[in-house]
Structure 1
Amino acid sequence: MPAPLSVDLRQRIIAAYEAKEGSQRQLAERFKVSLSFIRDLRRHYRETGTVEPKPHGGGAIAKLTKEQLPIVAALVTAQPDALLKELCERFAQRTGVEVSVSTMQQAVCKLKLSVKKNTDCI
């Protein structure tokens, strides 16, 4: 997701709209933003009195915590030729937390380890 537009641009858009320098559609073209952005900005300004962007939502919570990385390292060390899918299953047995293959791959990369590649997918 791209970064929010600058507060300066938001203020200029609101000032131009209040000065009746054009319709919402014309202002969208002039400032090179979407019409929906103009509508949403006006609504946000009416409701809050500010043009500041809303705070970031935070995203998804990671299933694998930093405290669980040593468990992954131990699983890889115990059987370095295990497939990622097998590591996921063993991790779930040990911790009760089910993770996807991509999550396991990210954890293995974070630990700077390597595992056997699945040759069935090629």
Structure 2
Amino acid sequence: MALSDDLRQRVVDGVVSGGLSRNEAARRFEISIASAVRWVKLYLTTGEISPRPAGGDRRSGRIEAHRAYLLGLIRRAPDSTLLEIQQRLIANCGEHFSVSVLWRFFDRHGITFKKKRRTPRSSSVRTC
């Protein structure tokens, strides 16, 4: 859980205008040295002290840019394997994605690659 903006502001003020070192500010306000360093760096580079939103997906934007191509590819060749899709992406789009990234993309969009049985199960065969 993120610490309060009030504490962050006191640490940053202590370092920037109070003349404290980051280590001294961390000791004085009973926080980790790494937090004091990060908060002061964030303030000096962006002018902000508030924490950024935590969690969420930060990496799927690159593959989502190829959404239309991938979904069209599956419509045209529904029996394609993930390796074949990966090779087509490299050849046609110049993009390289791991098979696990492709699997997560299709999972997000509700597309599965389950094998279908060629023949129905025999009800006359005895199973143990």
Identity %: 23
Q: Is the 8 A contact 2:39 2:49 kept in 1?
A: no
TM-score by length of 2: 0.53
Cα distance, 1:70 vs structure 2: 2.3
What amino acid is the match of 1:64? I
Once residues 63 and 43 of structure 1 are traced to their aligned partners in structure 2, the CA distance between those partners, rounded to angstroms, is 28
Matched residue pairs, number?
Answer: 104
Q: Is the 8 A contact 1:7 1:53 kept in 2?
A: yes
Once residues 86 and 9 of structure 2 are traced to their aligned partners in structure 1, the CA distance between those partners, rounded to angstroms, is 50
Alignment deviations for residues 52-109 of structure 1 (CA, whole Å, 9 cap, x no partner): 25878xx66843244x212212222333333212211122223232222122123212
Q: Which residue of 2 aligns with 1:93?
A: 91
Once residues 68 and 38 of structure 2 are traced to their aligned partners in structure 1, the CA distance between those partners, rounded to angstroms, is 46
**Which structure dedicates a bigger proportion of its chain to helix?**
1
Q: Is the 8 A contact 1:91 1:98 kept in 2?
A: yes
Of 110, 113, 117, which residue of structure 2 is paired with 1:112? 110
Q: Is the 8 A contact 1:7 1:52 kept in 2?
A: yes
Q: Is the 8 A contact 2:8 2:39 kept in 1?
A: yes
Q: 1:69 to 1:41 in 2, by over 3 A?
A: closer
Q: Is the 8 A contact 1:24 1:38 kept in 2?
A: yes
User: Structure 2: which 5+ residue stretches go unaligned?
Assistant: 116-128
Runs of 4+, deviation exceeding 6 Å: none
Q: Is the 8 A contact 1:28 1:34 kept in 2?
A: no
Per mean C-alpha deviation after superposition, the further-off stretch among 74-83 and 95-104 is 74-83
Q: Is the 8 A contact 1:76 1:82 kept in 2?
A: yes
Greater Cα radius of gyration, structure 1 or 2: 2
Q: Is the 8 A contact 1:84 1:105 kept in 2?
A: yes
Q: Which residue of 2 aligns with 1:63?
A: 62
Measured on the aligned residues, the alpha-carbon RMSD in Å equals 3.8
Q: Which has the higher contact order (CA 8 A, sep 6+)?
A: 1
What amino acid is the match of 2:28? L
